[in-house]
Structure 1
């Protein structure tokens, strides 16, 4: 019997990624507002980067994960020059679906918190399907 690719992942996998906020990361720069603080789209991207990092060392050959759902509360502003860290923890594996709990912190303060759901897919087939012309 062939092992299923999703069996490579077990709840509890974690990863942490950091970002030092620059002008390019602000709400003004990414078009999500008009204030010079870390923009919500960059917070989401950082949280997703942590989920990708959590699965990277166990990713079966030819497979990848793609984002399915993000639920994130962006609770506090972060000014340019400050470093934030996103930590992802794989909470649930349901077949090919991977549910992560994520937190973004600025020192001891929680900047954002939520969940990110990703799906394990065959990378080649996914890209072929996405780039097919009508």
Structure 2
């Protein structure tokens, strides 16, 4: 992906978000398994939240990003009470498409990593189109 000269976003933007794991975040609670550890859907939501945060300060008026593609390896369990940190880095811009590398860590251990692709859209048009589809 190449950076667009007039794009509001450029590679290198980063953000991090934290989550202290509660019972509501477990695989048992979110329906993705039967173990009392951080569920993969919550890991994914945290990773996406970091990508949203990375673009927030440069978002054009009326704009937003929506998820397009995710590749995520969730490789280690995190018990209730631990704090995980998701870090997202914008690595590529191709027109309205934004590609991020994401990593989620628990202390010094990487518990998940992958890539998230998002697309810049006009918020109002997107919501209107979504409503027309129903």
Deviation at 1:60, TM superposition (A): 0.1
Q: Which runs of 5+ in 1 are unaligned?
A: none
CA distance in 1 between counterparts of 2:55 and 2:26 reads: 28
CA distance in 1 between counterparts of 2:70 and 2:20 reads: 22
CA distance in 2 between counterparts of 1:92 and 1:33 reads: 34
Partner residue of 1:9?
Answer: 9
User: What TM-score do the two structures reach when normalised by structure 1?
Assistant: 0.95
CA distance in 1 between counterparts of 2:81 and 2:131 reads: 38
Partner residue of 1:118?
Answer: 118
Q: 1:133 to 1:40 in 2, by over 3 A?
A: closer
Secondary structure of the residue aligned to 1:58 is coil
CA distance in 2 between counterparts of 1:61 and 1:131 reads: 21
Which aligned pairs between 1:38-117 and structure 2 lie closer than 5 A?
38-117=38-117
Partner residue of 2:28?
Answer: 28
Q: How far does the alpha carbon of each residue in 1:8-50 deviate from its partner, in whole angstroms, 9 at most, with x for none? A: 1000000000000000000000000000000000000000000
RMSD: 1.2
User: What TM-score do the two structures reach when normalised by structure 2?
Assistant: 0.95
Q: Which runs of 5+ in 2 are unaligned?
A: none
Q: How far does the alpha carbon of each residue in 1:98-133 deviate from its partner, in whole angstroms, 9 at most, with x for none? A: 000000000100000000000000000000000116
Secondary structure of the residue aligned to 1:8 is coil
Name segments (4+ residues, structure 1) moved above 3 Å. Answer: none
Q: 1:133 to 1:119 in 2, by over 3 A?
A: closer
